[in-house]
Amino acid sequence: MSKLPSDLSLATLSIHQDDHLARVVDIAPPLTVSTNFEYPPADKLILARDRKISEDSGDDLIYSRFTTNVVQRAEAVLSGIFGAGAYPVTYHNGLAAFTAALFFFNPKKLAIGDGYHGCHSVAEIVSRLNGLRVIPLDSDEIDSTTLVHVETPINPTGYAIDLRKYAEIAHARGAKLLVDATFAPPPLQDPFAFGADMVMHSATKYFGGHSDLLAGVLVTKDADVQRALRGDRSILGTGMGNLEAWLLLRSMRTLSVRVRAQSASAEKIVRWLADNVERLPALTKVHHSSLQTEAFVAEQLAGGHSPTFSFEVTSAEVARALPDRLKLFHHATSLGGVESLIEWRAVTDPHVQLTLLRVSVGLEDPDDLIADLEQGLLAA
Ligand SMILES: *Cc1c(COP(=O)(O)O)cnc(C)c1O
């Protein structure tokens, strides 16, 4: 195929940005398993001493701990999804991506707020190794040795956090801002437009979208940072395996249609729940960025709200019983798949109230999902 035009949209690039990396005539990329690749002809060989494998191993096929054709294709698609000037690096899961960011910035302090509990657990392990100090997001101690980590929209409520505010604080004090944007992938929000220095996603969630792979991604606006991250990855061995990379590539073809539809359904369901709190005695409160009124929210979530939200019920007993009464929501952790999920969040998160249920909206008809929630909540 010939060279792509320069002004294509996310949906188009998700399908074509890796065309130039196809090595066979197959329309569907092959799932390959090789750990090693034949060297080029003698006159094209580059010696290790001239190559600096530790600084860049993203371009050539040598050994699969460095990269593979399918990983290269997945990263090409991600660069299309994140837009011009964005350099993605993939990992075998979201927490591996977060760990890679901590290793790369090597901060003395990590300013971190509420959010995914696993990131806090990674910070504890790194503290054990090098004395990293974990401080609150709104700490006065943020300085040039600090990495500020903001998750938005935030797990489990789906509320948006004002990125511009934290970017200003971080940059005024010489700190860097890392944003976990897992809950609102492209095309919903672009954290770089609000001052993020690096963006991470658990690609297990919306990029994967089918509850069948683990993956993570870090995105930087600096090609040198991408090279350094790939170098670290090639040594730490934190890249995706063959099957995961292949599943991720397959999944990202449909990212924009899936995420737009899930976001619109979530907004509709949240609206219905919020309008029916009085009529449904078991329901006490609904949490989601679509219910926030601050001006920054609509600006930041310009492409739509997260397809994940939470609500509260009258008691822990009701929260325990409700998932089993629903017919269209599986009771399970995680989010982002085509099938809707509900989770009594206290089962996996030690820090949330016992009355909270988290909902990940899938691709079912939202009216069917509303009817199911209605019968479940009325019976509760
Ligand atoms: C799931 C999740 C993670 C961790 O990702 P894994 O792919 O499970 O390692 C990190 N942050 C958020 C917000 C998540 O939802």
C-alpha dist (Å) from residue 327 to 29, 74, 277, 373? 36, 35, 21, 9
Name which residue sits closest to atom 4 of ligand 1, judged by CA: 94
Instruction: Return the percentage of the chain with pLDDT > 70, whole number.
Output: 97
Q: Tell me: pLDDT of 51 over 80.
A: no
End-to-end Cα, the chain, rounded Å: 57
Name which residue sits closest to atom 8 of ligand 1, judged by CA: 94
Contacts of 15 (CB under 8 A, 6+ apart): 253
Q: Tell me: pLDDT of 321 over 70.
A: yes
Question: Mind listing the pLDDT tens digit for each residue in 229-245?
Answer: 999 999 999 999 999 99
Q: Tell me: pLDDT of 99 over 60.
A: yes
| Ligand 1 contacts CB of residue 91 (under 6 A) | no
Q: Tell me: pLDDT of 53 over 60.
A: no
Which of 243, 244, 249, 191 lies closest to 220, judged by CA? 191
Rounded distance between C-alpha atoms, residue 200 and residue 309, angstroms: 20
Rounded distance between C-alpha atoms, residue 92 and residue 31, angstroms: 17
The pTM for the full model equals 0.96
With cut-offs at 50, 70 and 90, classify the pLDDT of residue 52: low
Question: Mind listing the pLDDT tens digit for each residue in 115-145?
Answer: 999 999 999 999 999 999 999 999 999 999 9
Q: How many CB atoms lie within 10 A of CB 243?
A: 13
Rounded distance between C-alpha atoms, residue 289 and residue 270, angstroms: 10
**Phi then psi dihedrals of residue 179, to 5 deg:** -120, 125
State the amino acid at position 110 in one-letter form: L
pLDDT for 223: 95
Q: What is the 372 CA–ligand 1 centroid distance (Å)?
A: 28
The Cα angle at residue 216 between residues 215 and 219, in degrees rounded to 5: 145
| Mutate which of 116, 159, 306 for ligand 1 pocket (most atoms within 8 A of beta carbon) | 116
Verify cis geometry, omega within 30 degrees of 0, for the bond prior to 88. no
What angle separates helix 117-130 from helix 94-105, to the nearest 10 degrees? Answer: 40
Q: Tell me: pLDDT of 157 over 70.
A: yes
Which of 207, 167, 166 lies closest to 185, judged by CA? 207
Q: Tell me: pLDDT of 146 over 60.
A: yes
pLDDT for 309: 98
Q: Sign of dihedral through CA atoms 251, 252, 253, 258?
A: positive
Please compute, for residue 45, the number of CA atoms within 13 A of its CA located in the half-sphere on the CB side. 8
What angle separates helix 316-325 from helix 366-379, to the nearest 10 degrees? Answer: 130
Structural Rg of the chain based on CA atoms: 22
| Mutate which of 122, 182, 201 for ligand 1 pocket (most atoms within 8 A of beta carbon) | 182
Q: Per the structure block, which two tokens stand in for 332?
A: 């399970």
Q: What is the 336 CA–ligand 1 centroid distance (Å)?
A: 11
Which of 197, 137, 159 lies closest to 294, judged by CA? 159
Q: What is the 42 CA–ligand 1 centroid distance (Å)?
A: 44
**Phi then psi dihedrals of residue 234, to 5 deg:** -65, -25
With cut-offs at 50, 70 and 90, classify the pLDDT of residue 49: confident
pLDDT (mean) for 294-303? 98
pLDDT for 374: 98
Residue 95 CA, closest ligand 1 atom number:
9
Rounded distance between C-alpha atoms, residue 178 and residue 236, angstroms: 21
pLDDT for 278: 96
Instruction: Work out the burial of residue 290: count CB atoms within 10 Å of its CB; fewer than 13 is exposed, 13-18 middle, 19 or more buried.
Output: buried
State the amino acid at position 232 in one-letter form: D
Q: What is the 35 CA–ligand 1 centroid distance (Å)?
A: 27
With cut-offs at 50, 70 and 90, classify the pLDDT of residue 47: confident
Q: Tell me: pLDDT of 79 over 70.
A: yes
Name which residue sits closest to atom 9 of ligand 1, judged by CA: 94
User: In the beta sheet, which residues pair with residue 55?
Assistant: none
Q: Tell me: pLDDT of 46 over 90.
A: no
Q: Are 206 and 363 in contact (CB under 8 A)?
A: no
With cut-offs at 50, 70 and 90, classify the pLDDT of residue 56: low
pLDDT for 229: 97
Q: What is the 7 CA–ligand 1 centroid distance (Å)?
A: 32
Question: Which residue in the block uniquely carries the two structure tokens 């976990």?
Answer: 180
Q: Per the structure block, which two tokens stand in for 198?
A: 């690096």
Q: Tell me: pLDDT of 167 over 80.
A: yes
